[in-house]
Copies of this chain bind each other. A is one copy, B any other.
Amino acid sequence: MIANRMKDYVKGSSVIRAMFEEGKIMAEKYGKENVYDFSLGNPNVQAPCEVNNAIKEIVEEENSVFLHGYMNNSGYEDVRKTIADSINKKFDTSFNETNIVMTVGAAGGLNVVLKTLLDPMDEVIVFAPYFGEYRSYVSNYDGKIVEVEPDLLTFQLNLADFEAKITNKTKAVIINNPNNPTGVIYSEETIKALSDILNKKSKELGIDIYLIADEPYRELAYDGEEVVYLTKYYDNTIVGYSYSKSLSLPGERIGYLVLPDELSDSDDIKAAANVATRILGFVNAPSLMQRVIAKCIDAKVNVEVYDKNRKLLYDSLVSYGFTCVKPQGAFYLFMKTPCEEMEFVNEAKKHHILLVPGSSFGCKGYVRIAYCVSYETIEGSLNGFMELAKKYGLS
């Protein structure tokens, strides 16, 4: 018999993953080219060639015992130093290797942070719409998730509702910038206002509130939009990063945490994150991939491909009469459904279009469209979207 609390997890298991599996079955049935699977954030852009070259070079050059062996649970020191230097260069910060913990992707990093911080019933605030996995990550450590209502006009942060929801049990706040599922980038103005509220309420309540910046989409920003670096705005900021999207390596599970010296109880947090990495069973981020990252520190996927997809998809959907905020980053588009969302998801399936319902992200009445697919997939899907628009009288 499985654990009682696992039963709920299994029952409410990821709609996104279920769609991904359904997409594979549909592809077998109808042919891959006739299924428009927008369900999963699985990048279709190749990793930059530097990655595979680095893998081959490192395997040739490094001693195998060192390369595939254990290191400090927080990761190779030289790799962490390289990453700290790179962040400093880009954002004019002053981190060193002690501020970096290598993680098993951003998901691993978030679990390490939450294990480090949360006591039972501690509250973690998230801004709807948000990545649904946060619910499980917080629940893993018996925390309580508190949702801030979405700002349906702009999908920027609803700061009034945020301020109202901070209590003396608030331990952390997660923001995901650029945002999954909306593709919105939070403006510097929004971030400053967020920081002001955090500083004010921390002082007022006499508590530390940690801001967790989940930033796997940082490098995917379009139209010259800037994604501000949060540690520069609020001292109690922890950054979680992943190379899943920036280098198209989601399966390799490689990322890092930034734990600044400015954090309240910074030394304790660093020590606890190191221990959490070990006892949660990660032990360390995959060793070869750590070294690959250090060797490819300036590499980046070809963001143009996603940008081209974004333009075609957004312009087409809007021209058909659909309503959506224009994504500025990541590779998601969050579209209002002209009917109840599951009805729309099921209607779309008839056109072999796979979408994820907004309620997975704490925001009903929408669908998420992950456009990290081929241009041809988007082109192929457009007729179906047009038919859907017609069916619901949008055009």
Residues on B with C-beta less than 8 A from A287 are: 251-253
Q: How far is the CB of A185 from chain B (nearest CB, A)?
A: 24
Instruction: Please choose the segment from A86-94, A116-124, A227-235, A325-333 that sits at the chain B interface, where 4 or more of its residues have CB less than 8 A away.
Output: A116-124
Alpha-carbon gap, A6 to B122, bound state (A) = 14
Q: Is A17 an interface residue (CB 8 A)?
A: yes
Tell whether, in the assembled complex, residue A1 and residue B45 are in contact, meaning their CB atoms are under 8 Å apart. no
Alpha-carbon gap, A136 to B5, bound state (A) = 19
Alpha-carbon gap, A1 to B55, bound state (A) = 39
Residues on B with C-beta less than 8 A from A7 are: 268, 272
The count of chain A contact residues (Cβ–Cβ below 8 Å) is: 82
Among B17, B42, B70, B108, point to the contact of A73 (Cβ < 8 A): B17
The residue in A60, A116, A118, A278 that gathers the most chain B C-beta atoms within 10 A of its C-beta is A278
Tell whether, in the assembled complex, residue A9 and residue B104 are in contact, meaning their CB atoms are under 8 Å apart. no
Residues on B with C-beta less than 8 A from A117 are: 2-3
Q: How far is the CB of A10 from chain B (nearest CB, A)?
A: 5
Instruction: Please choose the segment from A61-69, A190-198, A218-226 that sits at the chain B interface, where 4 or more of its residues have CB less than 8 A away.
Output: A61-69
Alpha-carbon gap, A288 to B115, bound state (A) = 28
Q: Is A284 an interface residue (CB 8 A)?
A: yes
Residues on B with C-beta less than 8 A from A3 are: 115-119, 122, 141, 272
Instruction: Check A1/B283 contact, CB under 8 A, given A248-B68, A272-B9, A278-B17.
Output: no
Tell whether, in the assembled complex, residue B72 and residue A21 are in contact, meaning their CB atoms are under 8 Å apart. yes
Tell whether, in the assembled complex, residue A116 and residue B2 are in contact, meaning their CB atoms are under 8 Å apart. yes
Which chain B residue has the least Cβ–Cβ distance from A72?
B21
Among B111, B264, B281, point to the contact of A137 (Cβ < 8 A): B281
Among B67, B69, B251, B280, point to the contact of A286 (Cβ < 8 A): B251
Alpha-carbon gap, A2 to B249, bound state (A) = 31
Q: Is A289 an interface residue (CB 8 A)?
A: yes
Q: Is A279 an interface residue (CB 8 A)?
A: yes
Q: Is A319 an interface residue (CB 8 A)?
A: no
Q: How far is the CB of A388 from chain B (nearest CB, A)?
A: 27
- Contact code string A1-39 (vs B, CB < 8 Å = 1, else 0): 111111101100110010011000000000000000000
Tell whether, in the assembled complex, residue A69 and residue B104 are in contact, meaning their CB atoms are under 8 Å apart. no
Q: Is A282 an interface residue (CB 8 A)?
A: yes
Tell whether, in the assembled complex, residue A208 and residue B6 are in contact, meaning their CB atoms are under 8 Å apart. no
- Contact code string A293-333 (vs B, CB < 8 Å = 1, else 0): 00000000000000000000000000000000000000000
Tell whether, in the assembled complex, residue A64 and residue B43 are in contact, meaning their CB atoms are under 8 Å apart. no
Q: Is A71 an interface residue (CB 8 A)?
A: yes
Alpha-carbon gap, A61 to B127, bound state (A) = 43
Q: Is A128 an interface residue (CB 8 A)?
A: no
Alpha-carbon gap, A71 to B104, bound state (A) = 16
Q: How far is the CB of A3 from chain B (nearest CB, A)?
A: 5
Q: Is A271 an interface residue (CB 8 A)?
A: yes
Instruction: Check A64/B104 contact, CB under 8 A, given A13-B275, A43-B69, A111-B281.
Output: no
| Interface pairs (7), CB distance under 8 Å | A45-B65, A52-B64, A56-B59, A133-B278, A251-B284, A252-B286, A253-B253
4 new A-B contacts, CB < 8 A, other than A43-B65, A104-B281, are A9-B279, A47-B68, A107-B278, A251-B284
Q: Which residues of A contact B (CB under 8 A)?
A: 1-7, 9-10, 13-14, 17, 20-21, 40, 42-47, 51-52, 55-56, 59-60, 64-65, 67-73, 104-105, 107-112, 115-119, 122, 133, 136-137, 140-141, 208, 248-253, 264-265, 268-269, 271-272, 275-276, 278-289
